Chain A
Amino acid sequence: MPIGVYVCHCGLNIAGVLNMEELKSFAEKLPDVAVARDLQFSCSDIGQEQIQKDIAELKLDRVVVAACSPRLHEPTFRRAIAKAGLNPYMLEMANIREQCSWVHMEQPAMATEKAKDLIAMAVAKAELLKPLEPESIPVSKNVLVVGGGVAGIAAALDLGDCGLHVFLVERRPTIGGYMALLTDVFPTNDCSICVLGPKMSEVYNHPDITLITYAEVLGVEGSVGNFTVSGVRKARYVDEKLCKGCISECAGVCPVEVPSEYDFAIGKRKAIYIPYPQAVPLVACIDPKACIGCARCVEACPAQAVKLDQEPQDFKLNVGAIIVATGWQPFDATRKEEYGFGRYRDVITTLQMERMLNASGPTKGEVVRPSTGKIAERVAFLQCVGSRDSTVGNLYCSRICCMASLKNAQLVKEKYPHTDITIYYIDIRACGEGYEEFYVRAQKLGINFVRSRVSCIEEVEGELFLIFEDTQTGEMKRVKHDLAVLSVGLEPDSKANVLGNLLGLSRRPDGFFEIAHPKMRPVEAHIDGVFIAGCASGPKEIPISIAQGSAAAAKAVKLLHKGVLELEPTSAYVDPEKCIKCKLCVDLCPKKAIAVKSPAYVDEAACKGCGSCAAACPVDAINMRFFSDEQIMAQVQAATEVKREFPLIVAFLCNWCSYGAADLAGTARIQYPTNARNIRVMCSARVDPSFILEALRRGADGVLIAGCRIGECHYRDGNYQALQRVNVLKGVLEKIGLDPGRVKIVWCAASEGEIYAKDLRNFIGELKAMGPIGTELKKDRAEEKNGETALP
């Protein structure tokens, strides 16, 4: 296997520090190296042509480029060798710029020695490279959108317009979500349903959207590109095709009246009902909990659409991607017992206020006291009910309630100018375009603001009294109001748990679904092919939910529009002969890509190649196609072949953060000692304890493992797994008699070059104090001997 080694000068970036001649002649002598050259700029056209020429003339079958970071030019060289007919994965890079010449400018001789090791390690790995073929799998061009709120609607419409087929599954009998129930919306005070209604009917009439309402998803199988989703469409007891939506005929004769969940129980509906006049689809629905089966509606319906013998229908969908837009649910205000919601009739929630203000709501737009039915004259808004409150376990700000109360207060004030309105707040959070202006407008309208968290509400002879400390004056006060509106926070929809568990979505401590990266991947889930939009991932205003819906749609289009999915051939695979079916790997996998049929089986479409399973497997039955056990072991051995300095450190750096941090230290020319020999792995969890033991056995003085900062792992929790393994290993080292301090695990973000350098300097200091590996063993023996001789 002839290998070509190319040592890059990078102008003077590398050649200015390292001795290129020495490196070239060192590389030439390495086993299997057919040719070693130094190139001025290997990434330039001339450099690439030289490599291609050698591949053709010398029949090279693998190439090592010692140059800059693989994070920079690996794709360039892969393309170059692929052009010359080699498999693109037959390339290995030695990072002698960012992690050598740029960080050891003051020690050219030692840096050259380190570069020799890095090149030897790259060559050792190159010998074990195998050609890999990116596998293409056909994917379904259908997308499932779960949740027909404003985010789901935005996603469905964008996807449909892009020509993908959408299945929009909604749990309720109508789409529209909470936005459809609101009156006017901030900060423009325009009518909510007037802007949402047309979108809802567009969904209904779109040729590429199949709307499945009053349905639930009950099963998800498969992975990105090919999910099989099963669910059930609940019985409406009304034929969707026959019903004309007139509702007055059937509901008019229905003898049963129950509180309407769409009016948050301040209005009523019949057992046969349409949620609200703008519902889509405009089809009646019978509430089986309320219906007494008198069958009057059956007789009354002129279209004969009521079918009391209708049964639930199962459905099965084949989709390539899933967008989770399951939304939120209001905080249950009865949990704040001190406010008396549910006991005092005049204590209501924001959503009930929205319905009262809504012209088509239960009070036809009048703001009345539920106890008397008279117009309210002294209205209080209480902010942060169920938000920013550790007593109910919700530490987060619900983001929209300040603005919602400001808006409702303005609407009440405009309708009834003499109403006395007070907003009790902790902080008014009005961040957004036009929001602060909206706050100022509310102040100008004469709405009172009291900075206080109300401690309790009392009802005395039908009057409400708010008891609170005004934190601006320090006074305790007791103030009478007619109507108290609790500004309830947003909580994740508890009914979305089923779907969350089916998909394996993780949740943040606040209970909302976690996104793949808190900044850079705002609509992607940890699971490939699954996207999260709207309030399912946290409280959001309407425009942001819409933006997220559209963003999720764009991501799904990007994924599926070609009809095939190219898979990085870096996945894990199982040797079925070795597998003992212990299932350790199944729970570890952050992508839920491993199933233990028998034996374990890796879904290569879902696997992202972190390698945690390979490190965990007790019988080494799992290996990686790229960064294989053998390759990493070969690197460890090459790094410890000749001990060129003390202390010698073998360092494992995760591809995403700590390798980036080490590169950044180079770019920023942060200088640190030359002791570390870096090995790139996809995740710190890839580091098998056997790699560490091998390094120590072969004479490395210490092993450093660097991962992403805790909580920032690109594979959810790989760094926790690495930490756990290192802790266990430290115990083992102690038993052997080695100092457990020889293995160190550190965290650095890709922006923390300085921290990486500092951690390394500290580690070198610690190892110097410990002495070369094995010192402690000699010491122990000496002590034992002394102990023996001390005995008479």
Chain B
Amino acid sequence: MMEIQKDMDAEGTHILAKQKTKEREIVLDYDYKKCAGCSICVALCPKKALQEGPLQEIAKGLDAPPVLIDLDACAFCGMCVNFCPMKAFKMTVHEKRAMPVAVDAAEAQT
């Protein structure tokens, strides 16, 4: 079975989740300074890999990310990236061969 390596780093206000497979390296960059804590990503994450942080404390001034990433659960599908209204998530993919993108699931059903 294909090996999947994951690790997580923090650089300033950026939280970097990384997934490394044989042909691809995906970096999910979450800049929590941009995050408004709206929790849209929490609701839509298909793997339930995103959870709300201590939102009330953050509102009172605590310096912490409003969203927590569960690295084990994250599948690096990129839905949070596409839906974040604040563009707090960014995803970069380095790959050896070009991967076709997924078709829209809703469209495929019809």
Contacts and interface: CB of A to CB of B under 8 A. Distances in A.
A289 B102 CA distance: 12
Contacts of B73: 255
Contacts of A309: 100-101, 103
A40 B4 CA distance: 97
Interface in B95-110: 99-103, 105, 108-109
A652 B24 CA distance: 83
Interface string B73-107: 10111110000000000000000000111110100
B21 A288 contact: no
Nearest to A311: B103
Contacts, number: 71
A292 B48 CA distance: 12
A295 interface: yes
B105 A289 contact: yes
A249 B99 CA distance: 17
Contact of A252 (B2, B21, B100, B103): B2
A253 interface: yes
Contacts of B2: 249, 252-253, 296, 299-300
A298 B99 CA distance: 7
Contacts of A237: 103
B100 A299 contact: no
Contacts of A745: none
B46 A292 contact: yes
B11 interface: no
B23 interface: yes
A248 to B, nearest CB: 6
A292 B23 CA distance: 19
B60 interface: no
**Which one of B22, B47, B75, B99 has the highest number of Cβ atoms from chain A below 10 Å of its Cβ?**
B75
B75 A292 contact: yes
Given A288-B109, A309-B100, A294 B77 contact: yes
A299 B95 CA distance: 10
B109 A291 contact: no
Contact of B101 (A288, A308, A311): A308
Contacts of A300: 1-2, 21
Contacts of B108: 235, 288, 312
A256 interface: yes
A85 interface: no
A255 B75 contact: yes
A251 B83 CA distance: 27
A744 interface: no
Interface in A295-314: 295-296, 298-300, 307-312
B100 A293 contact: no
Nearest to A302: B2
Interface in A227-255: 235, 237, 248-249, 252-253, 255
Contacts of A255: 47, 73, 75, 77
A292 B47 contact: yes
Nearest to B22: A299
Given A248-B1, A289-B109, 5 more contacts: A252-B1, A253-B2, A291-B105, A295-B99, A299-B24
14 contacts: A253-B1, A253-B2, A256-B75, A289-B105, A291-B105, A292-B46, A292-B77, A294-B78, A295-B101, A296-B2, A299-B21, A299-B24, A299-B99, A312-B108
Interface of B: 1-2, 4, 21-24, 46-47, 73, 75-79, 99-103, 105, 108-109
Interface of A: 235, 237, 248-249, 252-253, 255-256, 288-289, 291-296, 298-300, 307-312
